[in-house]
Amino acid sequence: MQNKPRSHGVHFSMGASGSIMGITTAFACVYPYSTFSLFFVINMPAAALIGLFGAYELYNVLTLNTGRFDSAGHLGGGLFGAGYYFFRFRPLLRRLGRR
């Protein structure tokens, strides 16, 4: 086997982590003050934890330091979750008189 430099071509993503990020982002938009536990030790509001995780993933994407994780997929899922909340779910909540 030869050692070849890693190409930065097209890579495919597999897994559910992007959709999980979208669901948790939408949850954090609906319930921003609900408590999440970081490593079962540090309790944080949902909005703060999702914001920190999103900032970490953005840093990984910008520095191309993704390793084996699909940081771009996580960011895409988070953006989709936030967009779904702001453009679909929040208007529904307003029509129902809940927000």
45: three-class secondary structure by DSSP: strand
pTM of the entire structure?
A: 0.76
> Which token pair is 11?
């890579």
Cα–Cα distances (Å) from 35 to 55, 62, 68, 83, 91, in that order, read 19, 29, 29, 22, 25
pLDDT of residue 36: 87
| Mean pLDDT score, 53-65 | 86
DSSP secondary structure letter of residue 58: H
pLDDT digits (tens, 9 = 90+) for 15-36: 788 899 999 999 999 999 999 8
Residues with Cβ within 8 Å of 32's Cβ and at least 6 positions away in sequence, in order, are 45, 46, 47
78 — pLDDT class (breaks 50, 70, 90): very high
Higher model confidence: residue 3 or residue 72? 72
66 — pLDDT class (breaks 50, 70, 90): low
pLDDT of residue 68: 73
pLDDT of residue 91: 82
39: three-class secondary structure by DSSP: coil
CB atoms under 10 Å from CB of 51, counted, come to 16
